[in-house]
């Protein structure tokens, strides 16, 4: 079973609580972490490039015939899919 590690409590306090309790990654240990980015639109490509420049191992997955065919201008509500809150 996948552990989502969503912090307990009201939804409006989850991000604040997470930021206050998350552990920082030492720059010397960044190569030990693999980050998976799903999607190669503007946000996904920018995220993958930025994390790669910071030293993380980055894997990017896309379901388009070409990464250049992403519809970033028409992307509405994509962040809601990434949140994965129950009953959202």
- Contacts for 57-61: CB closer than 8 Å, 24+ residues apart: 57/31, 57/33, 58/34, 59/34, 59/35, 60/36, 61/36, 61/37
**Is residue 21, in this structure, part of any structural domain at all?**
no
Counted domains in the chain: 1
- Predicted pLDDT of residue 37: 92
Give the residue numbers spanning the domain of 48: 29-67
- Predicted pLDDT of residue 8: 75
**Is residue 88, in this structure, part of any structural domain at all?**
no
- Predicted pLDDT of residue 59: 94
**Is residue 43, in this structure, part of any structural domain at all?**
yes
**Is residue 14, in this structure, part of any structural domain at all?**
no
- Per-residue pLDDT of the chain (88 residues), as tens digits, is 788 777 778 888 888 888 888 888 888 889 998 999 988 777 888 889 999 999 999 999 887 666 555 566 555 555 555 556 666 5
What token pair was written down for 25?
């990654």
- Predicted pLDDT of residue 86: 65
**Is residue 37, in this structure, part of any structural domain at all?**
yes
**Is residue 84, in this structure, part of any structural domain at all?**
no
What token pair was written down for 54?
């910071």
Residue 36 CB burial class (10 angstroms; 0-12, 13-18, ≥19): exposed
**Is residue 44, in this structure, part of any structural domain at all?**
yes
């Amino acid at each position: 079973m996948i552990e989502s590690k969503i912090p307990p409590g009201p939804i409006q306090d989850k991000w604040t609580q997470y930021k206050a309790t998350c552990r920082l990654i030492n720059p010397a240990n960044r190569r030990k972490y693999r980050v998976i980015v799903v999607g190669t639109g503007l946000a996904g490509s920018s995220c993958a490039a930025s994390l790669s420049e910071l030293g993380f191992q980055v894997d990017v997955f896309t379901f388009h015939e070409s990464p250049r065919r992403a519809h970033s201008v028409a992307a509405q509500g994509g962040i809601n899919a990434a949140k994965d809150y129950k009953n959202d």
